[in-house]
């Protein structure tokens, strides 16, 4: 029962994340991306603060540095994802974000000096093929390649950058969380993201990259509350508490359901249609994510280069 409880908790966290793509996309009609990021994470940090104030009083330089490093990639990931949703659909954003599972082994090789297994390589190829199909509105195979240049827009590119930053975040969080206090790291990365949203939003407005937009609405309030409390605080607690009680392979498979939930919510809430070719793309990406997690060697998917 303990095993099933853990897997159910991780599936709940994944479901919560899946709904954020639609919720944020609708909220961006009332608020600029950077301002939304700052509100979401600043509010989450304020909610957490009373519970960890005593821990923060004992914060040392090593923990502060680790938290800032992890927080930087956390901030860049959420910022590019939110900005990308201005230009792409919630369905595509969900699937492209999910490719962080494929990018992670690449950075493990570069940063951790561990060679990815064959399953990881096959997964990369399958996901790239899936992205080609997913980004096309064509009805024939040839149109997929003809229209990929036209339909892979800047929103998709920003979301792909988001996947890269989240992969870096996972790698560095793995390194830092083994050395530092977990709750301090959780708070620091959330606080850094909230502060970064305000600072970058101010800078972007000055240089003309992004105007400051804010119109209060019940929809916006719901989006901030949902993403701050459920999709930031609660999911972090669930993942931290229960992931250690299942295998990394099973956890990865559970997390790979996030873009599936995103597409389902987008279909139900926004009536976003998915063409046959995009369905094929979704299938390729989903299979790629599964292959990346399932085909692993005895060293859990990596061959160490360190002797």
Any idea which residue has 């003809």 for tokens?
146
Name, in order, each residue with C-beta under 8 angstroms of 140's C-beta and a sequence gap of 6 or more.
none
Per-residue pLDDT in tens (0 to 9) along the chain, 307 residues: 666 787 788 889 888 988 887 888 889 899 988 899 999 999 999 999 998 888 888 888 888 888 899 889 989 998 898 888 878 876 677 778 878 877 877 887 888 676 766 776 787 788 778 777 766 655 565 565 565 556 778 888 998 999 999 888 888 877 787 777 778 888 998 999 999 988 888 887 887 767 788 899 999 999 999 999 999 998 877 876 776 676 554 566 677 777 777 777 777 776 766 677 777 877 887 787 777 667 754 444 444 433 3
What is the model's pLDDT at position 264? 76
Question: In 10 A of CB 216, how many CB atoms?
Answer: 9
Neighbouring-strand partners of residue 116: 302
The rounded distance, in Å, linking the Cα atoms of 26 and 220 is: 8
**What's 227's DSSP letter?**
I
**What's 233's DSSP letter?**
I
E strand or H helix at 116 = strand 114-116
**Rg of the chain in Å (alpha carbons):** 19
Task: Please report, for the chain, the start and end positions of each structural domain, with discontinuous segments joined by +.
Answer: 2-106+149-274
Residues 165 and 44 sit within 8 Å (Cβ to Cβ): no
Q: If 0-12 CB within 10 Å is exposed, 13-18 middle and 19+ buried, where does residue 102 land?
A: buried
The rounded distance, in Å, linking the Cα atoms of 174 and 254 is: 18
Which tokens belong to 213? 């937009």
pTM over 0.75: yes
């Amino acid at each position: 029962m303990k095993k099933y409880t853990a897997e159910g908790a991780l599936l709940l966290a994944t479901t919560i994340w899946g709904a954020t793509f639609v919720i944020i996309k609708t909220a961006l009609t009332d608020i600029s991306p950077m301002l939304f990021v700052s509100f979401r994470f600043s509010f989450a940090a304020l909610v957490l603060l009373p519970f960890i104030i005593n821990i923060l009083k004992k914060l040392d330089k090593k923990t502060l540095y680790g938290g800032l490093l992890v927080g930087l990639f956390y901030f860049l990931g959420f910022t590019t994802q939110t900005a990308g949703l201005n230009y792409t659909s919630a369905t595509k954003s969900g699937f492209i974000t999910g490719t962080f599972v494929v990018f992670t082994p690449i950075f493990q090789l570069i940063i951790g000096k561990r060679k990815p297994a064959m399953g990881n390589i096959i997964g990369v190829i399958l996901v790239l093929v899936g992205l080609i199909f997913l980004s096309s509105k064509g009805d024939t195979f040839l149109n997929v390649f003809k229209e990929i240049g036209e339909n892979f827009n800047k929103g998709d590119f920003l979301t792909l950058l988001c996947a890269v930053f989240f992969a870096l975040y996972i790698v560095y969080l793995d390194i830092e969380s083994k050395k530092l206090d977990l709750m301090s790291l959780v708070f620091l990365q959330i606080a850094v993201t909230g502060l970064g949203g305000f600072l970058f939003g101010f800078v972007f407005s000055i240089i003309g990259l992004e105007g400051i937009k804010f119109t209060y609405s019940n929809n916006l309030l719901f989006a901030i509350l949902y993403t701050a409390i459920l999709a930031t605080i609660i999911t972090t607690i669930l993942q931290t508490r229960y992931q250690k009680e299942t295998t990394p392979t099973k956890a990865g498979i559970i997390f790979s359901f996030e873009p599936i939930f995103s597409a389902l919510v987008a279909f139900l809430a926004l009536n976003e249609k998915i063409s046959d070719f995009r369905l094929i793309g979704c299938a390729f990406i989903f299979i790629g994510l599964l292959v990346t997690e399932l085909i692993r060697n005895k060293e859990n998917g990596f061959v160490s280069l360190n002797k």
